[in-house]
């Protein structure tokens, strides 16, 4: 029945195809998109109804460009009229740059891409795409799979493990596991493995075979060579700014215990008021007005959004380079440090030759991280936001405390590293450099948890003023210090047995 309906849709469409773009509510939809819709409304009703609710459906790019500077969400200079004067429909996004898309395929007479990449979105949003590309997140795949330290961690977590002759042997990994685990957030590399023909409701059709698909990780390597996935935050096919501004989007990857940003936010004063009062806020208006649209910030407010005060003055410019207002990289490996100069961290090296941006003793590699001046600039961008609702002394003291927390947790990591080193030196564990993997023994995991879980949790609690449980008892300082006691107890136990 569906097949019949789809075929009759096509026939009706064919009659229309010669005519000009149909005006529906006076917002023109391209002929091509109408042809897409004629079938996909039945095949993928969920996708189509999401799109029907989107702003893409409700305004053309050239109309969007006419909005005042602060209200405008498109950032292109020029756009060809055939694209600019129709709504942003299926065809407008899925047919761009097909020459660069290895997965482009013939589909009912059109050349179509399965995946819409940041490079495609850049047609209308070039500034945001450019900003995003300077983000550590854009390199989330590369920084993980091309950095020898992190790939060791990946293997020790994801790969098959065998118990043989009293020890654990780590086997060869498989990509299917990686996709479900680390690469779920970091992004997969999507590769075209050929094309295959299969029977559909509309007869035989050919589709690309995609390795690494589906994936919406922030650092996805796309088949057009671009990095990232805008739909990681701007979920298809509503591309709702409301969803992107709410903290649940960030929570997909920043929940914890490694980066407990959302958990800390939830129990912070900001998070409490958000949860209690969000139904009274406006999450859609651009620019976003403090006091009028919202009372407390979400993740987006502090890190991304264009924010104005009640007088319409710009308090924070929109940025998709999320570190623009961040002086520190809280989530250090293994130490927290000033933000890196470059987002690509796959080729960094410290003095010891390890692919890390810090020494194992905690000092950052100075030429790889931003200067104190740049830190101050970024902090003052952030503070300008804080100051809309908090006094100067409140805000200044907050940042003094955060820097203290960074210093103190880094110190603890250093002590834990000393204990681990003693294990390595005494031969109680396989040490660097003879050890091919520094994450595959109990003591090494204790050390990893010190910085990856407990130091991070304590730092996020401090950074976001949610210090109650996540700073102390919920994988915070309590577990941080406890792990030191465990490591020492284990060291003494080894000594007692060995001697």
HEC string for the chain: CHHHHHHHHHHHHHHHHCCCCEEECCEEECHHHHHHHHHHHHHCHHHHHHHHCCHHHCCCHHHHHCCCCCCCCCCCCCCCHHHHCCCCCHHHHHCCCCCCCCCCEEECCEEECCCCCHHHHCCCCHHHHHHHCCCHHHHHHHHHHCCHHHHHHHHHHHCCEEEECCEEEECCCCHHHHHHCHHHHHCCECEEEEEEEEEECCEEEEEEEEECCCCCCCCCECCCCCECCHHHCCCCCCCCHHHHHCHHHHHCCCCCCCCCHHHHHHHCHHHHHHHHHHHHCCCCCCCEEECCCECCCCHHHHHCCCEECCCCCEEECCCCCHHHHCCEECCCCCCCEECECCCCCCCCCCCCCCCCCECCCCCECHHHECCHHHHHHHHHHHHHHHCCCCCHHHHHHHHHHHHHHHHHHHHHHHHHHHHHHHHHHCCCCCCCCCCCCCCCCHHHHHHHHHHHHHHHHHHHHHHCCCHHHHHCCCCCHHHHHHHHHHHHHHHHHHHHHHC
Question: Least separation, in Å, of the C-beta of 341 and its own copies?
Answer: 27
Residues 226-245 that bind its own copies (CB under 8 A): 235, 238, 240, 242-243
Question: Least separation, in Å, of the C-beta of 350 and its own copies?
Answer: 22
Is position 108 an interface residue for its own copies (rule: CB under 8 A)? no
Among 24, 67, 111, 161, binds its own copies (CB under 8 A): 161
> In the complex with its own copies, which residue's Cβ is closer, 28 or 467?
467
Is position 184 an interface residue for its own copies (rule: CB under 8 A)? yes
Residues 423-442 that bind its own copies (CB under 8 A): 440-442
Q: Are 352 and 359 in contact (CB under 8 A)?
A: yes
Question: Least separation, in Å, of the C-beta of 119 and its own copies?
Answer: 21
- Judged by CB under 8 A, the stretch of 26-34, 208-216, 354-362, 375-383 that binds its own copies is 208-216
> In the complex with its own copies, which residue's Cβ is closer, 139 or 447?
447
Among 76, 110, 213, 399, binds its own copies (CB under 8 A): 213
Is position 359 an interface residue for its own copies (rule: CB under 8 A)? no
The size of the interface with its own copies (CB under 8 A), counted in residues, is: 133
Among 390, 399, 435, 437, binds its own copies (CB under 8 A): 390
Residue 71 contacts by C-beta under 8 Å, 6 or more apart in sequence? 286, 287
Question: Least separation, in Å, of the C-beta of 251 and its own copies?
Answer: 6
Question: Least separation, in Å, of the C-beta of 398 and its own copies?
Answer: 7
> In the complex with its own copies, which residue's Cβ is closer, 52 or 374?
52
> In the complex with its own copies, which residue's Cβ is closer, 151 or 235?
235
Specify which residues 308 forms β-bridges with: 289, 314
Among 71, 106, 415, 436, binds its own copies (CB under 8 A): 415
Residue 107 contacts by C-beta under 8 Å, 6 or more apart in sequence? 205
Is position 496 an interface residue for its own copies (rule: CB under 8 A)? yes
Is position 41 an interface residue for its own copies (rule: CB under 8 A)? yes
> In the complex with its own copies, which residue's Cβ is closer, 23 or 163?
163
> In the complex with its own copies, which residue's Cβ is closer, 348 or 452?
452
Specify which residues 63 forms β-bridges with: none
Is position 152 an interface residue for its own copies (rule: CB under 8 A)? no
Question: Least separation, in Å, of the C-beta of 13 and its own copies?
Answer: 17
Question: Least separation, in Å, of the C-beta of 377 and its own copies?
Answer: 19
Among 418, 425, 433, 436, binds its own copies (CB under 8 A): 418
> In the complex with its own copies, which residue's Cβ is closer, 51 or 134?
51
Is position 181 an interface residue for its own copies (rule: CB under 8 A)? yes
Residues 250-279 that bind its own copies (CB under 8 A): 251-253, 255-258, 266-269, 271-273, 275-277, 279
> In the complex with its own copies, which residue's Cβ is closer, 108 or 481?
481
Is position 90 an interface residue for its own copies (rule: CB under 8 A)? no
Measure the N-to-C terminal CA separation of the chain; round to a whole number of Å.
80
Among 162, 347, 351, 426, binds its own copies (CB under 8 A): 162
Is position 195 an interface residue for its own copies (rule: CB under 8 A)? no
Is position 185 an interface residue for its own copies (rule: CB under 8 A)? yes
Question: Least separation, in Å, of the C-beta of 397 and its own copies?
Answer: 6
Question: Least separation, in Å, of the C-beta of 297 and its own copies?
Answer: 9
Nearest of 251, 211, 208, 245 to residue 105 by alpha carbon: 208
Nearest of 123, 148, 131 to residue 64 by alpha carbon: 123
Is position 3 an interface residue for its own copies (rule: CB under 8 A)? no
Residues 278-337 that bind its own copies (CB under 8 A): 279, 290-292, 295, 309-311, 313
Is position 197 an interface residue for its own copies (rule: CB under 8 A)? no
Residue 235 contacts by C-beta under 8 Å, 6 or more apart in sequence? 243, 244, 249
Among 2, 67, 193, 349, binds its own copies (CB under 8 A): 2
Nearest 5°: the CA angle 300, 301, 307 is 130
Per-residue x/- mask for its own copies, residues 466 to 495, rule CB under 8 A?
A: xxxx-xxxx-xxx--xx-xxx-xx-xxx-x
């Amino acid at each position: 029945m569906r097949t019949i309906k789809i075929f009759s849709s096509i026939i009706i469409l064919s009659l229309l195809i010669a005519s000009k773009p149909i005006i529906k509510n006076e917002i023109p939809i391209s002929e091509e998109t109408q042809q897409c819709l004629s079938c996909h409304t039945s095949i993928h009703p969920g996708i189509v109804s999401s799109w029907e609710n989107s702003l893409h459906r409700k305004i053309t790019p050239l109309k969007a460009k006419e909005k005042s500077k602060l209200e405008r969400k498109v950032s292109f200079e020029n756009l060809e009229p055939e694209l600019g004067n129709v709504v942003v429909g299926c065809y407008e996004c899925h047919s761009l740059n097909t020459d660069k898309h290895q997965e482009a395929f013939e589909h009912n007479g059109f050349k179509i891409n399965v995946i819409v990449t940041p490079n495609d979105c850049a047609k209308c949003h070039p500034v945001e795409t450019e900003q995003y590309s300077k983000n550590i997140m854009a390199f989330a795949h590369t920084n993980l799979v091309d950095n020898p330290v992190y790939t060791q961690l990946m293997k020790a977590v994801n790969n098959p493990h065998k118990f043989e002759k009293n020890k654990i042997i780590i086997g060869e990994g498989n990509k299917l596991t990686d996709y479900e685990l680390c690469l779920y957030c970091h992004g997969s590399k999507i590769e075209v493995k050929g094309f295959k023909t299969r029977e559909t409701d509309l007869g035989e059709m050919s589709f690309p075979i995609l390795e690494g698909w589906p994936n919406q990780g922030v650092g996805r390597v796309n088949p057009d060579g671009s990095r990232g996935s805008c739909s990681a935050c701007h979920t298809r096919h509503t591309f709702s700014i409301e969803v992107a501004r709410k903290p649940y989007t960030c929570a997909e990857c920043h929940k914890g215990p490694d980066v407990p940003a959302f958990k800390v936010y939830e129990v912070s004063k900001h998070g409490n008021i958000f949860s209690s009062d969000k139904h009274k806020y406006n999450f859609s208006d651009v620019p976003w007005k403090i006091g009028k649209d919202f009372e407390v910030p979400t993740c987006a407010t502090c890190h991304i959004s264009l924010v104005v005060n009640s007088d319409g003055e710009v308090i924070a410019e929109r940025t998709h380079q999320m570190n623009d207002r961040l002086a520190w990289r809280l989530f250090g490996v293994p130490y927290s440090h000033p933000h890196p100069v470059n987002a690509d961290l796959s080729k960094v090296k410290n003095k010891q030759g390890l692919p890390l941006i810090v020494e194992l003793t905690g000092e950052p590699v100075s030429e790889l991280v931003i200067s104190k001046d740049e830190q101050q600039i970024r902090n003052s961008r952030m503070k300008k936001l804080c100051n809309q609702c908090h006094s100067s002394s409140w805000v200044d003291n907050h940042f003094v405390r955060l820097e203290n927390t960074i210093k103190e947790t880094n110190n603890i990591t250093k002590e834990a590293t000393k204990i681990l080193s003693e294990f390595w030196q005494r031969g109680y564990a396989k040490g660097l450099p003879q050890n091919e993997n520094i994450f595959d023994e109990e003591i090494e995991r204790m050390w990893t948890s010190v910085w990856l879980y407990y130091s991070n949790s304590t730092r996020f609690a401090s950074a976001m003023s949610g210090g109650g449980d996540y700073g102390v008892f919920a994988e915070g300082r309590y577990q941080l210090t406890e792990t030191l006691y465990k490591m020492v107890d284990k060291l003494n136990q080894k000594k007692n047995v060995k001697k």
